[in-house]
Amino acid sequence: MALNLIMLGAPGAGKGTQAERFARVHSIPKVSTGDILREAVQAGTEIGLRAKAIMDRGELVSDEVMVGIVEERLTRADAANGFILDGFPRTVAQAVALDGIMSGRAPLVIVDIVVPEADLVLRLGSRLVCEACGTNAAPGAQACGKCGGRLVQRADDNQAVVLERLDVYKRKTKPLVDFYSTRPTFCTVDGAQAPDRVAAALETAVARATERARGAVGGALR
């Protein structure tokens, strides 16, 4: 059975790092809408410039744009045996659209990485990214571990924007937990642990959710 995974969590919860690690271990693509949007920003396309202005204000890109990006990506051959979504869905409307995209495919496993808000503010305020490729820097790094580029603070990681992003998450994105929480494949992971411990907990949670998916009957899962 294909492994189709959604990573939920507030900004700074570590879902991007864990998604990349999990995808590498399981040989499935990590589909990050953030990466796709950053590529458009770097290319200077019209949609990229619009997205940059929105993200710099700590707001979310429209559902229509995000759904279209994800739907196209999931039709590629490398996603036939599964994928891990990082940064999508972010709203219930996007989740409903994703259910439509997933019709006829293996069930979605949904993981919510939970971190206290005070920890999130500290993490985001000190986070650095590569100016060239947008990769998050490892703690204490002096240059990008992926391309060697210069590390800078993201425009949307200053304190005022961090607080706005967390407020947007609570108002618009956290309702996804309610949307998915009754599904047998929904699970939570403590993201306040060390990264290796989070990764181990993630593996255990996904394995259990996958077993529940195999045991589910009929149309209970989508």
Q: Domain holding 202: CATH number?
A: 3.40.50.300
Specify if 65 maps to a domain: yes
- Of the residues 15, 38, 52, 123, only one is catalytic, namely 15
165 among known catalytic residues: yes
- Of the residues 52, 123, 165, 183, only one is catalytic, namely 165
Provide the phi-psi class of 58: left if phi over 0, else alpha when psi is between -120 and 50, else beta: left
Specify if 184 maps to a domain: yes
Provide the phi-psi class of 85: left if phi over 0, else alpha when psi is between -120 and 50, else beta: beta
- Of the residues 21, 90, 123, 183, only one is catalytic, namely 90
Specify if 30 maps to a domain: yes
Specify if 146 maps to a domain: no
Six-digit token string for 80: 């036939």
- Of the residues 154, 172, 212, 222, only one is catalytic, namely 154
By residue range, what is the domain housing residue 57?
A: 3-115+173-220
Specify if 178 maps to a domain: yes
Number of domain units in the chain: 1
146 among known catalytic residues: no
pLDDT for residue 5: 96
CB 117 within 8 A of CB 166: yes
pLDDT for residue 217: 44
Axis crossing angle, helix 195-215 with helix 15-26, rounded to the nearest 10: 60
Specify if 35 maps to a domain: yes
- Of the residues 50, 127, 172, 222, only one is catalytic, namely 127
90 among known catalytic residues: yes
Specify if 164 maps to a domain: no
CB 63 within 8 A of CB 94: yes
50 among known catalytic residues: no
Six-digit token string for 132: 């060239």
Six-digit token string for 147: 């391309």
pLDDT for residue 216: 63
Specify if 64 maps to a domain: yes
pLDDT averaged per 10 residues in sequence order, the chain, 222 residues: 90 89 95 78 76 80 79 87 91 93 92 91 80 79 89 74 84 88 95 94 94 66 45
pLDDT for residue 122: 80
